[in-house]
Copies of this chain bind each other. A is one copy, B any other.
Amino acid sequence: MKEIGIALLGLGNVGLGTYRILANHAKDIERRLGARVRVRHVLVRNAGKSRPEDVPASLITHDMKTILEDKDVSVVVELMGGLSPSREYLEQAIASGRNVVTANKALLSAHGEALYSKALARGVDVHFEGAVCGGIPIIRTLREALASDRVESLTGIVNGTTNFILSAMANEGASYADALRRAQELGYAEADPTLDVSGMDAAQKLCLLASLAFSARVSPESILVEGITSLTPTDIAYGREAGYVLKLLATARRAPEGLDVRVHPAFIPAASPLADVSSAFNAVLLQSAALGASLYSGRGAGDLPTGSAVVSDIIDTCRNLLAGVSGRLPLPCPPHVHDVPLLSSGERRGPVYLRFSVSDEPGVLGRIASVLGEKGVSINSVLQRPPRPADSHATIVVFTHDTREADVAAAVQWIDSLRSTRAPTQVIRIEEGPGVLLASR
């Protein structure tokens, strides 16, 4: 039986998950592939770190040179994370003619195009299913199943940490800080949660997906990214009264003026299939010309889900090696991606939820309504609550009709400067779209 040698870079969560799936499913993989996949090296940077018992000491190396000089290594699998030395290692692997697999979303987001171009020039494969939504084969779906189709929009819940926190806030009325603490205790959030809660992790994933779905060059720096840190259980409760669930939504859609790509919290209809995606699960809803609506959901991350995605990439690239082909699938680099106009966020139109904290005195609602009207923000419904005994302010909640974001921003800026306004106005976008696509009985 033929044998294909691979090297794993990194033995963290995903590295170990990958190693174990390769070991535990070896027979099945062998049968499906018609060849044996043999791990020849596992690169570990920290020599002092204790090694799991099931990884033989003979496989461990601390030197990338050992791997590059082993002629029997055909595939290099990068699972170290970070930008460096993962980037250099991948470049060396590509330059030496190895096919590579990576689950490093941050790296691909920052330097993906350069890596893909090098691989294209060198005639080797790059696979990266594990980089986005580990438990959902969404990269494969976009690269292959949707190759026949024209994607109109892509809407996803692609960050498990924020989804866990928002679910906890919704279910238990917990504050953001308490929900974050629980997420950290349970291992759903890092000690420094910034990347997740700022929306940046979701933005990196979205840009990768959008580049595949729309053959477009999109970077997190060029799109609107808002995180979840200013959200409160009060907002979630008001939204629920109106039939909405609050999610951190990643959206990319074709608009007449350009591609509209954004990450921000959004109220979505409770009947939407995305509203049911809880805790550490991810989901992606595609709308495409021929297929119509299709939904993909599964675990977002974790050693085994992501490890499974990585191993399916290893199998794929081994199939190509066995067949003696490369570059079977186009990579998201030129000539397959283009610069496209992006819709400026101020030009986006849609309904929004506004929560005003105001002094409890006559005429306040009238003033707010006047400003909104002045700026062209049309009110759909209003909810005014008297201040609770402990509160120094009253709350006015407004759901608007479709409105230009720039108009909302101008109105809010004005209202926040009024003497009667006690705290900055909360603005949350409403996305009705995902509700009507697949649902409901």
Contacts from A to B (Cβ < 8 Å): 17, 21, 24-25, 28-29, 31-34, 129, 135-137, 140-141, 144-150, 167, 170-171, 215, 245, 273, 275-278, 281, 283, 288-299, 302, 304-305, 307-312, 314-316, 319-320, 323-325, 328-330, 335-336, 438-441
Contact = CB atoms under 8 A, between A and B. Distances in A.
B147 A29 contact: yes
A167 B438 CA distance: 14
Contacts of A330: 32, 34
B291 A299 contact: yes
Closest 3 CB pairs of A and B: A294-B298, A148-B311, A137-B145
B145 A312 contact: yes
Contacts of A439: 276, 278
Given A215-B31, A291-B304, A296-B295, A141 B149 contact: no
A7 to B, nearest CB: 18
Contacts of A283: 295
A144 B135 contact: no
Contact of A28 (B140, B150, B296, B307): B150
Nearest to A315: B147
Contacts of A304: 289-292
A330 B31 CA distance: 9
A215 B29 CA distance: 12
B21 A149 contact: yes
Given A25-B290, A28-B150, 18 more contacts: A25-B150, A29-B147, A135-B291, A136-B294, A137-B294, A148-B314, A149-B311, A149-B312, A273-B297, A275-B441, A276-B438, A276-B440, A277-B438, A292-B298, A294-B296, A294-B297, A295-B295, A323-B325
Nearest to A294: B298
22 contacts: A21-B148, A24-B289, A34-B330, A135-B292, A135-B294, A136-B294, A145-B309, A146-B312, A147-B312, A148-B308, A148-B309, A148-B310, A148-B312, A170-B441, A291-B309, A292-B305, A297-B297, A298-B438, A320-B328, A323-B325, A323-B328, A325-B325
A200 to B, nearest CB: 24
Nearest to A136: B294
Nearest to A163: B441
